[in-house]
Amino acid sequence: MENTFQLSVEQSAVFSDVGTLFAMAEVDADQAIVDFARAVQPDSTQPPSYDIWTAGIEIVKQSYASKKNVASDSDAVKSMTKRFYARLNEKFGLTKPASGSADSVKKAEQRAKAEQAKAVLMAKPTTELQAEIAMLTASPTKANLVKAGKLASIVEDQRAEKLKDVMADIKAKQTEVGKLAKQCMDQDILEQCLELLASNITESTI
């Protein structure tokens, strides 16, 4: 069934102002986040309105695009929408609500089921998944190759997660080293630290 929901003139004006404000000063545009949250959730005891949210964010994107002089379907607007949603979630814990239609509920259930199945696979040891991939590819039927491809994707996701954790730890240590270096007033110790760091940095890490 076609959605015939329409925003009021006042609501449209609010969302238009939100997009313009966010385009003008995104870093300091907390008011835009507040205004959007209030518009989509007039009653804080009730969940956000799907209809107001979906109609409103389209006006926000159009207003933002107009102010930035870009197309409303450009990568710049898509990226802005992700940042905008992240700010909404961070400040108010709001996420885009489900539509509530039978089709949307079915899709949401399918996504939840797929995510649950992926979580189970992600928890398996990589070596176990690799052994299963080898077994499947040894008997290369169409079904086995499809399953092997899905498992290979899980292995890649596991590697990406491990790398993310490693990089997060490295960033934290870099920050801590920087703080300690600023507090150190011993020239010899600083010189030793510089030499130690320099001796362990290769062209591949620069």
- Domain identity same for 85 and 165: no
* Residues 177 and 122 occupy one common structural domain: yes
Q: Report pLDDT for 3.
A: 62
| Residue 60 domain-assigned (yes or no) | yes
Residues 110 and 191 in one domain: yes
State residue 5's pLDDT score: 81
| Domain annotation covers residue 76 | yes
In the chain, the N- to C-terminal Cα span, in Å, equals 56
103 pLDDT higher than 80: no
Averaged over 117-134, what is the pLDDT? 93
Q: Which of 92, 122, 141 is the last residue of a domain?
A: 92
pLDDT at residue 105 in the model: 64
Query: Which of 92, 125, 143 is the last residue before a domain boundary?
Result: 92
Instruction: Assess whether pLDDT exceeds 80 at residue 89.
Output: yes
**Same-domain status, 140 and 183:** yes
User: Is residue 187 in a domain?
Assistant: yes
Q: Is residue 30 part of a domain?
A: yes
Does 70 share its domain with 146?
A: no
What is the number of alpha carbons within 13 Å of residue 124 lying toward its C-beta?
17
Q: Is the pLDDT at 169 greater than 60, yes or no?
A: yes
Condensed to tens digits (0 to 9), the pLDDT of residues 131-154 reads: 999 999 999 999 999 999 999 999
Name the domain boundary from 92, 117, 146: 92
Query: 109 and 201: one domain?
Result: yes
81 and 114 inside one domain: no
Cβ pair 126, 134 in contact under 8 A = no
* Model pTM above 0.95: no
Q: What is the number of domains present in the chain? A: 2
Residue 187 structural domain: 105-205
Determine what percent of the chain is predicted with pLDDT higher than 70.
91
Query: Do both 155 and 118 map to the same domain?
Result: yes
When pLDDT is cut at 50, 70 and 90, the band that residue 61 belongs to is very high
Return the higher-pLDDT residue of 162 and 44: 162
* Greatest CA separation for the chain: 75
69 within some domain: yes
> How many Cα atoms within 13 Å fall on the side-chain side of residue 25?
5
C-beta neighbour count of 197 within 10 angstroms: 10
Residue 204: what pLDDT?
44
CA–chain centroid gap for 89, Å, is 11
Q: What is the mean pLDDT of residues 6-35?
A: 87
Q: What is the mean pLDDT of the chain?
A: 88
Same domain, 44 and 126: no
| CA distance linking residue 164 with residue 174, whole number of Å | 15
Instruction: Say whether both 197 and 142 belong to one domain.
Output: yes
User: What confidence tier does 115 reach under pLDDT thresholds 50, 70, 90?
Assistant: confident
Q: Is 88 in the same domain as 121? A: no
- Residue 133 covered by a domain: yes
How does residue 55 score in pLDDT terms, banded at 50, 70 and 90?
Answer: very high
The per-residue pLDDT for range 176-204, each reduced to its tens digit, is 999 999 999 999 999 999 999 888 876 54
What 8-state DSSP symbol labels residue 46? S
* Residues 26 and 88 grouped into a single domain: yes
Q: How far is the C-alpha of 53 from the C-alpha of 42, rounded, in Å?
A: 11
Please check whether residue 3 lies inside any domain of the structure: no
Residue 97 domain flag: no
Which are the contacts of 23, defined by CB distance < 8 A and separation ≥ 6?
63, 64, 67, 68, 80
